[in-house]
């Protein structure tokens, strides 16, 4: 059996997230592989991939905050809200002169889309409407009306602005957002607010929870030397930690709930995340570089600046291998894929895991109404379970031992 752990992949453009899973399956020598949040074929960057038992972490990692570097073209709209779709005529798209926009106007418009907002997902998405995927209905000529969903955009910052072609301009932005956010929808809505039309032309995911792009490896690099973060280390890096007694570990491994009052005070903050050069990251042949993001990365359950992320739903999450994806746009938010013959966020080639929120929106929930998971370890250091406090008890979300 292959060892359990997380692989932080730097996905290339032009391939689906399921393509990445298929490649990692071959490299790891197991079919039990999944990912924690879809990236559209056009998008590049961080894709968290789980192997063997680590696939049980994916549904929980998918709900963490994400960060993107994106380029938005103003002055032109497309059917898919990104560069892969057909350009719409001015009557349905651009109505103003994007080339006349000032930096002040752009920053003011971007500010309207920060904080807790309601966002209508793109019609080319895997969200179900009356049992049918929205992208299928749209391509069949019966474009559905999708309901707005709550998302949180903590940062939407303008980095650069430059002419593109004729009266088109390209703007570079950095986005920090909750799971379930569509970056394509931000581009579409920004263009509508400015009266110019807009669409996404490039997207790179630079962070998923604690895992940053500096720790990611391309598939070619992984083929040369396969690197992963061992299961226990990965859990300690992403969640608060609770060290159990032998008897507590035995009970939890059998699904027994423990009194929260006795355990809550023993929960410690997550361990310092190892950088890419750490000798503790593993490979089949022994210690090798890899693993999680550098120390000081944002907590998986709290945004930088103290914005705590609640325990939210992963509605419509994509299931690759045994993973659950609930990413943010370009990332196929809330399990939605995008154009072309990709997984469309609906691939179900294995058994998925992970909780779904009440509204299934994959958006950030109310931190006051739910607790973040805690990684519980046996005395020998092995990961026993992920626990969550509810109704005065620590309840197992996922059990890893025996």
Overall number of domains in the chain: 1
Asked if residue 1 has pLDDT above 90, the reply is no
**Separation of alpha carbons 367 and 357, rounded Å:** 12
**65-93 average pLDDT score:** 89
Task: Give the least confident one: 80-89, 255-264, 267-276.
Answer: 267-276
pLDDT of 261 above 60: yes
Q: What pLDDT does residue 10 have? A: 98
pLDDT of 363: 31
- Residue 386 belongs to a domain: no
Residue 348 has pLDDT above 70, yes or no: no
Q: Residue 317 falls within a domain, yes or no?
A: yes
User: Which pLDDT does position 359 carry in this prediction?
Assistant: 28
Q: Is 40 a catalytic residue?
A: yes
Determine the Cα–Cα distance for residues 162 and 86; give it in Å rounded to an integer: 23
What pLDDT shows up at residue 95? 56
Query: Worst-scoring range by mean pLDDT, 223-232, 305-314, 323-332?
Result: 305-314
| Averaged pLDDT for residues 290-300 | 33
Domain membership of residue 353 (yes or no) is: yes
User: Given 10, 19, 40, 160, which residue is catalytic?
Assistant: 40
Which of the given ranges, 101-110, 121-130, 348-357, has the highest pLDDT on average? Answer: 101-110
Using the CB atoms, write b or e for 93-103: b if 16+ within 10 Å.
bbebebeebee
Residue range of the domain that includes 292: 1-229+275-365
* pLDDT at residue 122 tops 50: yes
pLDDT of res. 274: 38
Evaluate whether residue 80 is within a structural domain: yes
* Residue of higher predicted confidence among 284 and 188: 188
Q: Does any domain span residue 156?
A: yes
Exposed (0-12), middle (13-18) or buried (19+): which is 61, by Cβ within 10 Å? buried
Q: Which residues contact 158 (CB under 8 A, 6 or more apart)?
A: 103, 106, 107, 110, 171, 172, 173
CATH number at residue 183: 3.30.2350.10
Please state, rounded to an integer, the average pLDDT across all residues of the chain: 78
Decide if 269 is inside a domain.
no
Which tens digit of pLDDT belongs to each residue from 38-54? 898 999 999 999 999 99
pLDDT tens-digit readout, 373-388: 999 999 999 999 999 9
pTM of the model: 0.77
User: Is residue 307's pLDDT more than 80?
Assistant: no
Q: Is the pLDDT of residue 301 over 70?
A: no
Q: Is the pLDDT of residue 361 over 50?
A: no
- Please check whether residue 389 lies inside any domain of the structure: no
372 has a pLDDT exceeding 90? no
Tell me if 53 is assigned to some domain.
Answer: yes
């Amino acid at each position: 059996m292959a060892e359990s752990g997380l692989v932080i992949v730097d996905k290339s453009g032009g391939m689906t997230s399921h393509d990445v899973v298929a490649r990692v399956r071959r490299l790891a020598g197991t079919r039990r592989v999944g990912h924690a949040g879809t990236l559209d074929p056009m998008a590049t960057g961080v894709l968290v991939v789980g192997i063997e038992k680590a696939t049980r972490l994916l549904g929980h990692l998918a709900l963490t905050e994400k960060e993107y570097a994106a380029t938005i073209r103003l002055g032109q709209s497309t059917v898919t809200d990104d560069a892969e779709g057909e350009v719409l005529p001015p009557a349905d798209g651009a109505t103003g002169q994007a080339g006349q926009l000032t930096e002040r106007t752009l920053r003011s418009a971007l500010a309207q889309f920060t904080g807790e907002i309601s966002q209508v997902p793109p019609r080319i998405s895997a969200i179900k409407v009356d049992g049918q995927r929205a992208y299928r209905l749209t391509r069949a000529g019966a474009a559905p009306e999708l309901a707005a969903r709550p998302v949180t955009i903590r940062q939407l910052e303008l980095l650069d602005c430059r002419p593109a072609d004729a009266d088109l301009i390209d703007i570079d932005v950095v986005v920090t957002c909750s799971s379930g956010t569509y970056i394509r929808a931000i581009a579409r809505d920004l263009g509508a607010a400015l009266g110019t039309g807009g669409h996404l032309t490039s997207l790179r995911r630079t962070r998923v929870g604690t895992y940053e792009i500096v720790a990611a490896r391309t598939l070619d690099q992984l083929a040369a030397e396969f690197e992963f973060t061992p299961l226990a280390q990965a859990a300690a890096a992403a969640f608060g930690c609770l060290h159990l007694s032998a008897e507590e570990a035995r009970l939890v491994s059998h699904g027994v709930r423990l009194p929260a009052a006795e355990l809550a005070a023993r929960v410690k903050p997550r361990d310092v995340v190892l950088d890419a050069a750490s000798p503790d990251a593993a490979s089949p042949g022994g210690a090798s570089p890899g693993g999680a993001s550098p120390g000081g990365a944002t907590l998986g359950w709290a945004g930088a600046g103290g914005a705590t992320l609640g325990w939210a739903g992963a509605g419509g999450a994509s299931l690759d291998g045994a993973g659950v994806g609930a990413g943010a746009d370009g990332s196929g938010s809330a399990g939605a894929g995008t154009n072309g013959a990709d997984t469309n966020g609906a691939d179900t080639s294995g058994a998925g895991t992970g909780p779904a929120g009440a509204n299934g929106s994959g958006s950030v929930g109310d931190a006051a109404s739910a607790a973040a998971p805690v990684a519980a370890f046996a005395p020998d250091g092995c990961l026993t379970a992920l626990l969550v406090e509810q109704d005065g008890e620590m309840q197992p979300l996922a059990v890893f031992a025996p």
